Amino acid sequence: MLGDDAAAKRALAAELRAACTEIGFFYIKNHGVAQSLIDDTFAQCPRFFGLPLDEKMAMHVRTSVNNSGYTPLLEENTDATGKGDLHEAFDMARERPEGDPDRAAHANHYGPNLWPADLPGFRAQVEAYYAAMLGLGRRLFGAFALALDLPEDYFTPLTDKHTAIMRLLSYPSQDGPIDPKQIGIGAHSDYECFTILCQESVPALQVRNTDGQWIDAPPIRGTFVINIGDQMARWTNDLFASTLHRAMNTSGRARYSIPCFVGSNVDTRIEALPGTVTADRPAKYPPVLAGDYVQGRLDATYAYRQEGTEPVG
């Protein structure tokens, strides 16, 4: 996807289509993101999560307008049958400059991010990694378009201001007996078009296959794990599979991961793409605006949103 060889791109698109229709998860390598950038960003995780709790709580997501900042242990519940997810998180999104009309119209998506007050170098490093994820996301949208027999630039005008929520996640080790209803992150599918996940060295991710079995998706240095999200599943009329996954850290040490959830522009209408509706495959979902869809899913996940407390700031 970084070159101009049309035949090579078609071959890649065929592999991608098979992964998306049969599995829903895949690894990519030769992605153009420097390993040094990845390593230096992971080095920020113990710095941030090692801050005193009161400093992290000063950045609690309830004080943001765009669900950015810090989420403590157990305040998310991705599995509706669970008791809360055993991880901490730092979230950021695609901040637009002050005075930008999109920020004024959609502050809950493009508003200002929250950052630690006194953690030198943290913001610059995380923002550099985020910029790399935006670039990789653009290339992946081109590959997905080809996999759907669409022009490579089909998604460009629909994703040029896409929302991309990125998270730094910290999972404590669960030692001894484990309550299956309270693990690192409960069984769920992601909300946006696709997720670019970087795992450090501690295994925890599991994916449910088509037989209903949980299989390990271990860290492989130099790769990203990509999974299809619910927006892309809706957009493709379920041609591309959005797959359940979960994380359970039993390693005896902290586990860090960095997912970037790449979606479309907030005002993009998500409805069945050309070629995905046939006589044998009628349209399954009503159209929905991407921003409304993501907001609804976030509302169902975060405890502070269910307490009736509106974000301030």
In three-state secondary structure terms, 88 is strand
Average pLDDT over residues 226-255: 94
* Residue environment code for 222-234, b if the CB has 16+ CB neighbours within 10 A, otherwise e: ebbbbbbbbbbbb
What sign for the dihedral angle of Cα 111, 115, 120, 126?
A: negative
Half-sphere exposure of residue 119, counting CA atoms within 13 Å on the CB side? Answer: 22
| Predicted local confidence at residue 265, as pLDDT | 92
Digit-coded pLDDT (tens) for 13-25? 999 999 999 888 9
Q: Which is higher by pLDDT, 297 or 156? A: 156
End-to-end CA distance of the chain: 41
Calculate mean pLDDT across residues 75-93: 91
- The one-character DSSP state at 79 is S
The residue among 98 and 152 whose pLDDT is bigger is: 152
Q: What is the pLDDT of residues 151-194, one digit of tens each?
A: 999 999 999 988 789 999 999 999 888 898 999 999 999 989 99
Angle at 255 (CA atoms; ends 249, 261), nearest 5 degrees: 100
Specify the pLDDT at position 309.
45
Tens digit of pLDDT for each residue in 36-83?
999 999 999 999 999 999 999 999 999 888 889 999 999 988 888 888
Please identify which residue in the block is written with the tokens 């404590």: 172
- pLDDT at residue 313 tops 70: no
**Is 106:152 a contact under the CB 8 Å cutoff?**
no
Which residue from 61, 68, 31, 18 is spatially nearest to 224, judged by alpha carbons? 31
For residue 179, what are its two tokens? 């309550």
Q: Does residue 312 register a pLDDT over 50?
A: no
Instruction: Please state whether beta strands 194-199 and 185-188 pair in parallel, antiparallel, or not at all (unpaired).
Output: unpaired
d(CA 103, CA 94): 10
Check whether 108 has a pLDDT greater than 80. no
Give me the long-range contacts of 119-127 (CB less than 8 A, separation at least 24): 119/47, 119/48, 119/51, 121/44, 122/44, 122/47, 122/48, 125/40, 125/41, 125/44, 126/41, 126/44, 126/92, 126/166, 126/168, 127/92
Give tens-digit pLDDT for 184-239.
999 999 989 999 999 999 999 999 987 888 999 999 999 999 999 999 999 999 99
- C-alpha closest to that of 172 among 246, 245, 91, 256: 256
- Please say if the pLDDT value at position 110 is more than 90: no
pLDDT (0 to 100) of residue 302: 58
- For 123-146, the pLDDT digits (tens) are 999 999 999 999 999 999 999 999
In the predicted model, what is the mean pLDDT of residues 248-274? 95
Structural domain boundaries in the chain = 6-306
Confidence of residue 107 (pLDDT cuts 50, 70, 90): low
- 6-306 CATH: 2.60.120.330
pLDDT at 303: 55
pTM of the model: 0.92
**pLDDT at position 311 over 70:** no
